[in-house]
A and B are shown apart, each in its own frame.
Chain A
Amino acid sequence: MSLLAEKNPAQSAASHTDSAEAFVPDQSRAERRTSYSVADFPVPGGREEEWRFTPVDRLKGLFAEEGSTEGAVTVATDAPEGVEVLELAMDDERVGSAYRPADRAAVTAYAGAAKALYVGVPNEAELVAPVFVRVTGHAGRDNAHLVVDAGRHSKATVVLEHSGTGEHTAGVEIRVGDGADLTFVTVQEWDDDAIHVAQNDALIGRDAHLRHITVTLGGEIVRVSTNARYSGPGGSFEGLGVYFADAGQHQEHRLFVDHEAPHCHSNVEYKGALQGETAHTVWVGDVLIRASAEGTDTYELNRNLILDDGARADSIPNLEIETGEIVGAGHASATGRFDDEQLFYLQARGIPEDVARRLVVRGFFASVVARIGVPEVSERLMAAIDVELGGTAAADADLVEVSS
């Protein structure tokens, strides 16, 4: 109900890893450039607002305007009956209408993509099973473009999975038709040396709902920028994210929710764990409530759990409000250390240390995982987290279940 952004008091607990209160944008998100022309985005040097946390020197390859390497990826799709899965030329009218490259990597992806993969869910269709798009990287550079088109009043789940290696720049374009209910999941389970920079643009129709879920577990550098816009009133965007960074990994998640239509809703919740001295994560959550967006209700939250000294989590929520006629707007950001008192409590009940650690970390992620709503994804995610924590997923799988 409050007009002012509220800050979670917990964030002062670990101020050295929390830059949430330090950042004042020098420019409104409304003024950030978007363009289809590569020339409009100079190669980043690393000082630009949108690149200042990213190891840009390792992205030189992706910043170059270049086509895809032959055989860089294989893409497998698995879709229930009735779903249209097509390859489209980049100049097809179904490509690009909801997508606007917003940085150098996004524009080289768009320029370098030879074709787009199109997943169309017909109007009013209710899918009985998720659509899976599985991207496996082999070597070299790939420029990808995926269009997910959920017809009006349809209900569907689309899961985009990434594994393997290589350098990947990608655009994902999500159109959610009026009254549609779409769950879109992007899973980054890359090998340790993969690089992946992606932009996800969503255009949410009147009274439509998009649940956009990002799961990032592997890769050397993974950067996913998600931009949500509304094409009519009554839309809602639920942005969920879970990430787990190991030593040497850079994981960056940027969100921009652009409230222009009135009476829309957005809720963002990202949680990350960092393990290993050089693990680095970045979360930037920009929300813009334009003057026309009366009746907006928005909240965003990012929490990070640091498991080892030396890991670094940057967390920057940023809320711009241009109208007073809103329902609510708030954000919270906190980064904390693994709590040894929790570990002691569990161990004092006989629970071995490794199981106790897994319980605590699973518990940390539980509030997001419970909202994913796609069992194939949440179960795999939990198993993957167990593996990250050095356990075997199966051994105590039934000991540690998830709650909200």
Chain B
Amino acid sequence: MSTLEIRNLQVTVETENGTKEILRGVDLTVKSGETHAIMGPNGSGKSTLAYSIAGHPKYTVTGGTVTLDGEDVLAMSVDERARAGLFLAMQYPVEVPGVTVSNFLRTAKTAVDGEAPKLRTWVKDVKAAMGDLRMDPSFAERNVNEGFSGGEKKRHEILQMELLKPKVAVLDETDSGLDVDALRIVSEGVNRVKDSTDVGVLLITHYTRILRYIKPDFVHVFVDGRIVEEGGPELADRLESEGYDRYVGASA
């Protein structure tokens, strides 16, 4: 049983025009087995929240706390956070030329587990997970994200989630840019991890579409760097019909 606790998180970023305040006090608690959807318009700070949890150096935390089972996440380096059990499926995964998927996955698994996986079972696990995500076996020998289509990148992110088995996974717009088939395959992947482990999920999305496949327990509406409304799955239905206009208008 794990708990990710975010308290009054405030984050800025340096821009050409000086320091810009993006997160203005975010409060959120994600427990094992729970799925939280964070929904908000473009530019509201959703990715900033995801990157700040993961420790991206571009973002400066100016206030608040983030803890995982009481441990101070903000004091950890990026890789320590991942080894502590946090995972971020990126909105825009980067290419790493010359590093194969198979080498990358094995290196990551070894780092997260603190020991190299047993070769036999590992190869089998990777194959099975790739098969489930309808990824061709030849993917393993391609370079990380190099020449991947948008959908392939997202499947590759979820593949990592399946193999690394995090305590809490943040999925940053994993649904964006996917056609219906790919969305279903990726969602099934997330659901498999939810079923087989106790992962807590923070699902960041702009659209309600993915929530037909991945059922959230909680929905948070995110506008202008903070959570402005919270509720159950029914809140998503309301956003579907009403959009964000109401909140954007209110906060302006």
Where the two chains meet, the residues of A that have a C-beta atom closer than 8 Å to any C-beta of B are 339-342, 344-353, 355-356, 359-360, 362-367, 398-404
Interface contact tally, CB-CB below 8 A: 100
A353 and B98 contacting across the interface, CB-CB below 8 Å: no
**CB <8 Å contact, A350 and B96:** no
**Interface contact B94-A355, CB-CB below 8 Å:** no
Q: Which residues of A contact B82 (CB under 8 A)?
A: 347-351
Q: How far is the CB of B28 from the nearest CB of chain A, in Å?
A: 20
Contact of A360 among B55, B99, B116 (CB under 8 A): B99
Q: Let me know if B201 is at the binding interface, CB within 8 A.
A: no
How distant is the Cα of A357 from the Cα of B170 in the complex, in angstroms? 25
Chain A residues whose C-beta falls within 8 Å of the C-beta of B217 in the assembled complex: none
Chain B residues within 8 Å of A403, by CB = 98-100, 103, 141, 143
Q: Is the CB of A349 within 8 A of B99?
A: no
19 pairs across A/B with beta carbons < 8 Å?
A: A342-B95, A345-B96, A348-B54, A348-B87, A349-B82, A349-B112, A350-B83, A351-B107, A353-B77, A353-B78, A356-B79, A359-B96, A360-B96, A363-B96, A363-B99, A365-B98, A366-B98, A399-B107, A403-B103
Return chain B residues, CB-CB under 8 Å to A401.
100, 103
Chain B residue at smallest Cβ distance from A340: B57
> Once the chains bind, are A349 and B160 in contact (CB under 8 Å)?
yes
Return B192 CB to nearest CB of chain A, in Å.
Answer: 19
Minimum Cβ distance to chain A for residue B207 (Å)? 24
> What is the bound-complex CA distance between A340 and B108, given in angstroms?
18
Q: Is the CB of A359 within 8 A of B107?
A: yes
Most buried by A among B87, B98, B106, B108: B98
Whether a CB of chain A sits under 8 angstroms from the CB of B111 is: yes
Q: Indicate whether A349 sits within 8 Å of B90 (C-beta atoms), given known contacts A340-B57, A366-B97, A400-B103.
A: no
Interchain CA distance A352-B112 in the complex, whole Å: 10
Does chain A have a CB within 8 A of B39?
A: no
Tell me whether B56 and A345 are in contact (CB under 8 A).
no
> Given A349-B108, A350-B111, A359-B107, are A367 and B83 also a contact pair (CB < 8 Å)?
no
CA of A344 to CA of B56, assembled, Å: 7
